[in-house]
Amino acid sequence: MTWNTRYLPPDPNQWRGRPDTPPDSSFFQIIQILNLLEEKFFELKQPSFALLGFRCDEGVKRNSGRAGAIEGPAAIRHALSRLPIQKQNFAVFDAGNITCADGDLEASQHALGAVVSFLIKHKVIPIVMGGGHELAWGNYQGIARAHPDSSLGIVNFDAHFDMRPLLPENKGSSGTPFLQIAKARKSANLTFDYNCIGIQHAGNIRQHFETAKAYDTKIILADELHQGQREKCIDFIDRVIDQNEFVYVTLCLDVFSAAYAPGVSASQPLGLEPWDVIPLVRQLAASGKVISFDVAELAPRYDVDHRTSKLAAALIYEFIHNHHTRTW
């Protein structure tokens, strides 16, 4: 199976803004369209990011969640298009979408991995937009293909561990990606350094905590952030950065309170506030070690006043503007 059978080229019409905006002031003006069916190689002279949508509801459906994440990438693009540009030393590409229209989630995850690997090998940082959190298994496949033997720290902002048991025939869902990653790294004799921020006792049954413990998962509970323990989070992130060559950052929008993120598969009344998370995203971006970033679980049909899509776009804005690029 080749990735291009599940690839949709980018649509320039998704990038629109005010006609009176000064040149190079907003994302809709600086975005570069990158059709991977046409581009064989591109030479880059500045830090570069590629937005890649994962248009998929299959993982959420398999996890008995409410569907709608397939619409997420378009909503994030719309929200991001009008956000301002505060510095000029980077390039942002829209690299299109990987789609899952036939229920074959595994094939779409494999295709996502192929494109992520291609981008990383060309020194472009992928920003994958979901889609359910099953995108994490596809994103990881691309990271592992590009850097198979490197130490990797995973930071997951999430209300859930997403380490549920696999479904029959070893099939995954939006609730299984980090168990799949754990098993893949174990089979490759690699360390599984999994770090979760925002976990809720009310969002995970006892057995999920036991699975996480069995794989030595490090945890910052949502309760700890509600109680003001931000310094603990800074040290938590520093440890991941210091002990790994690369860091993979993945953010499920259901980590936030439903007041800020109603448009998700499983909304959270006791979730975090944006300012619990933004300083940590900035800290990770500034490390220069983030090899890939994704934002999952946006379901626009359940959103209110575009709050969730705007929050997703703001997080991508923060990641890009605070990113420190190093030579890989």
pLDDT single digits (tens) 81-113: 999 999 888 999 999 999 999 999 999 999 999
pLDDT value for 219: 98
pLDDT band of 45, cuts 50, 70, 90: confident
Alpha-carbon distance 318 to 309, whole Å? 14
If residue 79 lies in a helix (H) or strand (E), which one and from where to where? helix 72-81
Q: What is the pLDDT of residue 133?
A: 98
Using one digit for the tens of pLDDT, what is the confidence trace for 172-207?
A: 999 999 999 999 999 999 999 999 999 999 999 999
pTM of the predicted protein model: 0.96
Angle value at C-alpha 124, between 6 and 3, nearest 5 degrees: 15
CA 236/CA 188 separation, integer angstroms: 26
The yes-or-no verdict on residue 256 having pLDDT over 80 is: yes
Phi, psi of 10 (to 5 degrees): -65, 150
Give pLDDT, residue 39.
Answer: 66
Residue 74 has pLDDT above 60, yes or no: yes
Contact (Cβ atoms closer than 8 angstroms) between residue 265 and residue 60: yes
Measure Cα distances from 173 to 22, 56, 161, 165 in Å: 44, 11, 13, 10
CA 117 to chain centroid: 15
Q: 57: which 2 tokens? A: 């509801």
pLDDT confidence tier of residue 328, bands split at 50, 70 and 90: very low
Report how far residue 240's alpha carbon sits from residue 244's, in angstroms, rounded to the nearest whole number: 6
- pLDDT band (50, 70, 90) for residue 327: very low
Q: For all residues of the chain together, what is the average pLDDT?
A: 95
Query: How far apart, in Å, are the Cα atoms of 249 and each of 136, 274, 318?
Result: 10, 16, 13
As a whole number of Å, the end-to-end CA separation of the chain is: 29
Question: Where does 191-255 show beta strands of DSSP type E?
Answer: 193-199, 218-221, 246-252
Long-range Cβ pairs for the range 270-273 (8 Å, 24+): 270/200, 270/202, 270/222, 270/226, 271/159, 271/198, 271/200, 271/222, 272/157, 272/198, 272/222, 272/225, 272/226
Cβ atoms 251, 288 nearer than 8 A = no
Task: Note whether 132 and 71 are within 8 A (CB).
Answer: no
* Higher pLDDT, residue 12 or 43: 12
Name the percent of the chain lying above pLDDT 90: 93
Q: What is the pLDDT of residue 44?
A: 77
Which pair of structure tokens corresponds to residue 184? 């893949």
* pLDDT the model gives residue 40: 64
**Token pair recorded at residue 301:** 């049909």
pLDDT for residue 136 is more than 60: yes
In one-letter notation, the amino acid at residue 308 is: T
